[in-house]
Structure 1
């Protein structure tokens, strides 16, 4: 049950829920702040020479304030999503692998194959070869999806991807290298070395960097 506040204005009673009341108060504070800034801006001007700030101007300024605030919050959320999504993606992937064959969730459109490849190389330079190989594998899947060779499906396992590729690609060996490495990462305590990553990267380049 929500707590309610009652605002009495003249003969009218305005009943609002707590969050609406807080929003109203915040809006009032913004208006007071704008009026204060206006008064400070013209404090050296004689009172009779000032022009009064109208209600319409206050409303326009409030709308502009909320618009800027919303745009700023949207930008912050977008930056946080770009920064933390790869880690969440990896965690979700590993969680799925504990309950059976690893499942491949659909990659969001903004996470292109090239973006995932760049993240892989970033992890490699940090010395995290396990994540570097994982993101190389994710990049392979996204490249296949973007080129309509094998569309990503949440229910499709690594083995099913391999079966699908057998009838659609000229050389299966590079795919086997990347998929097998990924399965080892999901189902065993296999430690990945820099040499393992370079081997996987070579297979990836055979698939997508050849002319």
Structure 2
């Protein structure tokens, strides 16, 4: 292959040909409008380097636009999950703060039965869970602290002789908050049995 043919196949030669064609097209368009107009040359900045710089800038702008669009889509997808977790944590804190109200263990159990009759087993379980916390507080086994997490409770109940029913309720409560667990009627009955074991131990 000769040097001349190699140059004609190069990218620079092809870009030069495109520039020449654009220049000829421009001259033709001007001539069609008014043949008497003086010839207008393309601007002096119209060279390979400038074209490449403009192409890079356009490519980066397109890339940034796509990246922004993708980030917005991802935020819209994951935002409901963060919203749910934040609300669940706030709900737990507010629910535990209810321990400072005059709801007794009996009051929580009555609330649990009302929700059970309505078929709302999630709320029925939460009331059962609160009755357990109220019992731990009333018997001064673990005093109430609104900032205390289920994980901290699980560590504190390790020393109890019968910690299994407590563990069951704490673990299910964690799953209810962070794993979107749906409590069925049969699962709620298992939780009631675990709570009953706790009550039997108190006697």
1:136 to 92, 112, 128: 128
Displacement of 1:98: 6.3
Displacement of 1:95: 2.7
**Mapping for residues 56-67 of structure 1, pairs under 5 Å:** none
Displacement of 1:198: 0.4
Provide the residue aligned with 1:177 in structure 2. Answer: 168
In 2, the alpha carbon distance for the partners of 1:148 and 1:134 equals 21
1:123–1:129: 8 Å Cα contact kept in structure 2?
yes
1:106–1:152: 8 Å Cα contact kept in structure 2?
no
Q: Larger Rg: 1 or 2?
A: 2
1:204 to 176, 195, 200: 195
Judged with a 3 Å threshold, the aligned counterparts in structure 2 of structure 1 residues 133 and 119 are, in CA distance, closer, same or farther, namely same
In 2, the alpha carbon distance for the partners of 1:140 and 1:180 equals 13
Higher strand share: 1
TM-score by length of 1: 0.51
1:94–1:186: 8 Å Cα contact kept in structure 2?
no
**Mapping for residues 158-169 of structure 1, pairs under 5 Å:** 158-167=150-159, 169=160
Higher helix share: 2
2:89 to 90, 94, 97: 97
1:137–1:178: 8 Å Cα contact kept in structure 2?
yes
In 1, the alpha carbon distance for the partners of 2:167 and 2:143 equals 17
Cα offsets for 1:86-120 (capped at 9, x unmatched)? xxxxxxx9735169xx5443612411111101101
Cα offsets for 1:129-163 (capped at 9, x unmatched)? 00011110011000111111111101111010111
- Displaced runs of 4 or more, over 2 A: 93-96, 102-106
1:97–1:186: 8 Å Cα contact kept in structure 2?
yes
> In structure 2, the residue corresponding to 1:153 is in which secondary structure?
coil
- Structure 1 unaligned runs (5+)? 1-92
Provide the residue aligned with 2:111 in structure 1. Answer: 119
In 2, the alpha carbon distance for the partners of 1:96 and 1:184 equals 11
Indicate the RMSD between aligned Cα atoms, in angstroms: 2.2
- Structure 2 unaligned runs (5+)? 1-84
Aligned residues: 116
